[in-house]
Structure formats: C-alpha cells, structure tokens
Amino acid sequence: MRAFIFPGQGSQAVGMGQALADASTVAREVFQEVDDALSQKLFKLMVEGPADELTLTENAQPAIMANAIATLRVLQKEGGISLADKAAFVAGHSLGEYTALCAAEAIDLATTARLLKLRGRSMQAAVPVGVGAMAVFLGLDFEGAKAVAEEAAQGEVCQAANDNSNRQVVVSGHKDAVERAIEIAKAKGARRAMLLPVSAPFHCSLMQPAADAMAEALGRTAVQAPLVPVYANVLAAPVSDPAEIIRLLVEQVTGTVRWRESVAAMADAGVEQFVELGGKVVGPMVKDITDKATATSVVTMADIEALAASL
C-alpha cells in the first residue's frame, strides 16, 4: 500500500518548477492554468523571485501547490501512472491538504489555486505583523510541547500548532507568549527551541478571522468525493464526504496539524511507502514517525522517471 503526500509552507524556493517546466509541456500547462486562475504571473515569481515576495503567504501557498500538482501530472501523463490505482490514501501538511484534495480530484486546480491565495491573504490579515509568532521545539514530544504552551500562555494565546514528528512540534500564538514558551521549553529539556521566520501565527485561535473567510469561500465551492480517501490534518483520519471535507478545512485554519498521528495511522492501516511529491519536507518526517514504511521525495524529472519505473 502507498500514500501520496504533499508539503506545506516553507518548502518554497526561488527557481522552483523551472526544470520541470523546461522538460515537460504537462508541467507548463499546470503553471499556466494557475497563473490564469489567479490573474497573476506566479510562475515567473517562482522562477525568478524575489525570495521575499515568493515567501509571502498568499504567494507561497499556491506556488507550493502548483509545483506539487505539476510533479503529479507529469508522473501521471508521462509516466502512465493513475493515482487511484497506485495510492490508497493522499495527505498533505497544512496547505498541502488542499494539494492532496486537488490531486484526488475533489477540487479542480484553478479553484484550489484561488482558495489558497485567499487562505494565505486571510491568514496574513488575521493578525497584525509583530503581534503573533511561531516557534519550533526539537526534542520535545507533543504532550510535552502542549504542556509548555499552556504554561506559557498566561492569559494570551499559545497553542501547539503542528505535531510534525516524534521530535518536532511547533507552537503558535501571541509573540510574548511564544517567547515565554521558548524559555520554558529549553528549561524542560528541548534540544532546540527557536522562533520560526513566519509572518503570522498559523494554526491557533488567533486565525479565527481567516477561518471565517475560508468558511464563506468553501461554502461556495464545488467539492467532489476524492478518488481515494484524504487524511484530514485535524482528524488524523481518512475522509471522503464532501461536506465533511469542507468542515474540516475550515477547522484546520485554527486547529492543530496532526501530521505525526496521520502518518502513524496510515502506516497502521497498511501503508508501506509514502511518496512526497514536489518537495523534500514531509518525506523525511515520515522516517522520524514510523519504521513500518519507507519514504521517497520526488522533485526532479529523474525522480519522477525513477518512481514511474518502480510503480
């Protein structure tokens, strides 16, 4: 059994998609469709930068999705691979859940791009710059990080935002509370605890205005049953019902990304191979979560050809 998985924010880099577009008409068509959907030259920004503009949440989210879907489409059309035949599940980290839904044909590409543009813009607008922050703890498990966040809150917001692996948890909330959490985490034995270079405190209750915006947009969105079940971030369980998919995407904006539990659950369900498409972020996390499965990250044409030959 196999799962296709998709990266989240932070996997963007200037130059992304260039080699794929040079090698494949299929990839170029994906990038053009996203540009058209957004009325923006996003692919030019992906290839040429500047990095600070690409890193803006409203650009990074659709860019990462476009790169991953281009990778998948090349695999499908030039490698003759059918997702429904080769994957039992799909899943993605945060924005990657939208990519997974697009990959499984629950949401079309143009709509996914517009939703992620709105999601990024809404998340950025929810909290004034400098008010919120996120920090990563290495060497603390989820329960330990949750306890640190609760102790650091002191009337402010501080929540465990991303349960990434057995050794990596991200907390999110008010900047002062997150800075207190860093000091508490160090005192409790975290190997490293440091602020992340992000522009807003994602996946905590401060994101409620963004959740409201997404609820409105998703309420107008046609969502189909996916070709294969999608592991939802906030449930760490597979979903296929369109109404439930929409509800969970709204909840995901303020909820914890339960990535560790999702990967472990897929492995327990029989997944023996995780294939990350369009990045080298969530694949390596798999190795920290379970020894029941292997993980492969597919980025280049050579990676795609090697995977197609192995499937």
Residues with active-site annotation: 94, 203
Order of strands, sheet of 89-92, starting from the edge strand that comes earlier in the sequence: 237-239, 230-232, 89-92, 2-6, 273-277, 294-298
Q: In the structure encoding, which two tokens stand for residue 99, read together? A: 């990519």
In whole angstroms, what is the distance from residue 248 CA to residue 260 CA? 18
Q: Which residues, 6+ apart, have CB-to-CB distance to 123 below 8 Å?
A: 57, 200, 202, 207, 210, 253
How many Cβ atoms from other residues are within 10 Å of residue 150's Cβ? 14
Nearest to 215 by CA among 268, 165, 252, 174: 252
Angle at 192 between CA 57 and CA 92, to 5 degrees: 40
In whole angstroms, what is the distance from residue 58 CA to residue 115 CA? 10
- Largest Cα–Cα distance of the chain, in whole Å? 55
How many Cβ atoms from other residues are within 10 Å of residue 220's Cβ? 7
In whole angstroms, what is the distance from residue 287 CA to residue 293 CA? 8
Is the preceding peptide bond at 128 cis, omega within 30 degrees of 0?
no
Nearest to 12 by CA among 72, 52, 70, 69: 52
94 neighbors 252 (Cβ within 8 angstroms): yes
